[in-house]
């Protein structure tokens, strides 16, 4: 009974959301970014192999098949920007800006932004520029400077979820997940930027809050 | 006249050489084609996985992406709480983090990823809560448990795990950590 009520609730929510909901991570989350170079799939931030570092991963342009990935590219008009709050007020104190130009991804920061919020100006000169790793490369291209290491290029989408079964649940044709589930994101790729940064550059007192934005030139 | 042509050729050669030098210097000391460029048109915005897709209604999806985190709570906490109760047929009490509906959605509505700068980083490992997000964290199961699992995290057993526990490719222990594309 309780479960039935729950399923009914889920179905009604699905109907309210309608228009082909996609509970991915942030893949194709909103009309204004769907299928564009600004569409973020996921943000990851974790301690590096060197525990003195944090790794920032920003992924965009999800759900790409291998064929699509062959011709996928970053967009010179799109900035991928990590926002970092180290004071607990949910306003960014530092940013790491990633801007693609002429085959390379230029990395700026961590640096204090010119202004906080939605509009961003490229700050200073790049601390490191890394050539985008081609789809066919057997080893990733990596560049380092001042303790900061960078990668940019196509990668397997690290996100995993049985989205199809979830759709069956919300659609009322299933009452729960199955075991084992099936990873709907198996075999799909993203365009990824990975930046590893010494923790000492983040002015942290133990905790930071991070969010990822994309934005375009006018 | 002839001399002017020679000068022109000389200047062009000089520009060409300088240009070449500049290109070569990128690898160790990047010169900068982007400095000062302005990116003023908002695109996407993400903190934690799945927040926009799970808790933000269709009419708000674009707005959520352009609402800065410092004002998200005021704009979205009430809506998230209503959504959470809708998922649970109005029966959400507390979850495994002992958060009630208002407190839980109060955390979620400000969509930023909390990251500890000392010690283990994980989305949730049974001990550490929201200290980061690694590539292999099963964030979907964590989300399902906190939304559907009730106070013990074990309610609605067929809804609290999708039974996909790991990625389709192994991650690397070294930079850049993610797997090569398919």
Q: What is the 3-state secondary structure (H, E, C) of B18-80?
A: HHHHHHHHHHCCCCCCCCCCEECEEEEEECCCCHHHHHCCHHHHHHHHCCCHHHHHHHHHHHH
Query: Which chain A residues have a beta carbon less than 8 Å from that of B177?
Result: 55, 57, 194
A212 and A43 Cβ atoms separated by less than 8 Å: yes
pLDDT above 90 coverage of chain A, percent: 81
d(CA A32, CA B41): 11
Which residues of chain B lie closer than 8 angstroms to A94, CB-CB?
none
Of A135, A199, A211, the CB nearest to B181: A135
Instruction: Flag whether B113 is in a domain.
Output: yes
B60, part of any domain: yes
With contact defined as beta carbons under 8 Å apart, do B166 and A160 qualify?
Answer: yes
- B93 domain-assigned: yes
Structurally, chain B folds into a number of domains equal to 1
Q: Which of A160, A176, A197, A216 to mutate to test the interface with B (most CBs of B within 10 A)?
A: A160
Residue B168: inside a domain: no
- Reported confidence tier of residue A170, pLDDT bands at 50, 70, 90: confident
Closest Cα in chain A to B164: A181
Where are chain A's structural domains? 3-160+189-217
Q: Which residues pair with A96 in a beta bridge?
A: A82
Q: What is the ipTM of this complex?
A: 0.89
C-alpha A41 chain-centroid distance: 5
Contacts of A165 in chain B (CB under 8 A): 162
CB atoms A90 and B112 under 8 Å: yes
Find which of A4, A6, A29, A67 to mutate to test the B interface (most B CBs within 10 Å of its CB): A29
Q: What pLDDT was estimated at residue A17?
A: 37
- Nearest-CA residue of chain B relative to A3? B156
Q: Is residue B10 part of a domain?
A: no
Residue B79 lies in a domain: yes
On the 0-12 / 13-18 / 19+ scale of CB atoms within 10 A, B3 is: exposed
Distance separating alpha carbons of residues A122 and A98, to the nearest angstrom: 9
Cα–Cα distance measured from residue B10 to residue A74, given in angstroms and rounded to the nearest whole number: 37
Q: Which domain holds residue B124?
A: 27-159
B153 lies in a domain?
Answer: yes
Nearest by CB to B32, which of A10, A125, A156?
Answer: A125
pLDDT at A66: 98
Q: What is the pLDDT of residue A23?
A: 54
A147 touches chain B (CB under 8 A): no
Q: What is the mean pLDDT of chain A?
A: 90
Q: What is the pLDDT of residues B61-115, one digit of tens each?
A: 999 999 999 999 999 999 999 999 998 999 999 999 999 999 999 999 999 999 9
pLDDT at A63 over 60: yes
Pairing of strands A104-111, A78-85: unpaired
Tell me whether residue A118 is exposed, middle or buried, using C-beta atoms within 10 angstroms of its C-beta: 0 to 12, 13 to 18, 19 or more. Answer: middle
Comparing A149 with A164, which gets the higher pLDDT?
A: A149
How far apart CA B113 and CA B119 sit, in angstroms, is 16
Task: Give, for A106, the enclosing helix (H) or strand (E).
Answer: strand A104-111
- Which member of B47, B114, B121 has the closest CB to residue A47? B121
Q: Is the dihedral of CA B118, A205, B130, A189 positive or negative?
A: negative
Q: How far is A160 from chain B (nearest CA, A)?
A: 5
User: Does residue B132 lie within any of the structural domains?
Assistant: yes
DSSP string, A70-90: HT----TTEEEEEEEESSSSS
């Amino acid at each position: 009974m309780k479960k039935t009520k729950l399923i009914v609730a889920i179905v009604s929510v699905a109907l309210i959301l309608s228009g082909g909901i996609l509970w991915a991570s942030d893949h194709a989350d909103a009309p204004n970014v769907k299928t564009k170079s600004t569409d973020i799939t996921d943000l990851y931030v974790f301690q590096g192999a060197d525990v003195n570092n944090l790794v920032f991963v920003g992924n965009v342009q999800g759900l790409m098949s291998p064929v699509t990935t062959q011709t996928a590219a970053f967009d010179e008009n799109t900035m991928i920007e990590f926002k970092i709050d180290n004071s607990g007020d949910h306003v960014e104190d530092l940013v790491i800006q990633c801007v693609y130009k002429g085959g390379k991804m230029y990395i700026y920061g961590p640096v204090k932004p010119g202004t906080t919020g939605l509009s961003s100006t490229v700050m200073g000169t790049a601390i490191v520029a890394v050539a985008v790793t081609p789809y066919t490369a057997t080893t990733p291209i990596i560049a380092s400077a001042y303790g900061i290491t960078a990668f940019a290029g196509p990668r397997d989408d690290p996100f995993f979820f049985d989205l199809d079964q979830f759709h069956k649940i919300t659609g009322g044709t299933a009452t729960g997940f199955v075991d084992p589930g099936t990873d709907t994101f198996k075999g799909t790729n993203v365009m990824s930027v990975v930046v590893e940064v010494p923790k000492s550059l983040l002015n942290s007192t133990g905790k930071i809050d991070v969010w990822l934005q994309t934005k375009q030139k006018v | 006249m002839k001399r002017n042509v020679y000068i022109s050729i000389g200047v062009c050669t000089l520009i060409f050489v300088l240009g070449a030098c500049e290109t070569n210097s990128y690898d160790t000391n990047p010169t900068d084609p982007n400095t000062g460029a302005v990116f003023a048109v908002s695109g996407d915005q993400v903190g934690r996985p799945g927040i926009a897709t799970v808790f933000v209604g269709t009419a708000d999806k674009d707005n959520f992406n352009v609402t800065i985190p410092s004002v998200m709570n005021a704009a979205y906490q009430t809506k998230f709480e209503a959504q959470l109760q809708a998922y649970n047929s109005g029966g959400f009490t507390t979850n495994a983090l002992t958060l009630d509906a208002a407190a839980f959605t109060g955390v979620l509505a400000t969509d930023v990823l909390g990251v500890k700068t000392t010690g283990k980083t994980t989305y949730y490992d049974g001990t550490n809560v929201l200290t980061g997000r690694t590539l292999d964290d099963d964030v979907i199961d964590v989300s399902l448990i906190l939304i559907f699992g009730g106070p013990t995290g074990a309610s609605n057993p067929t809804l609290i795990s999708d039974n996909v526990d790991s990625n389709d490719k192994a991650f690397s222990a070294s930079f850049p950590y993610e797997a090569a594309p398919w």
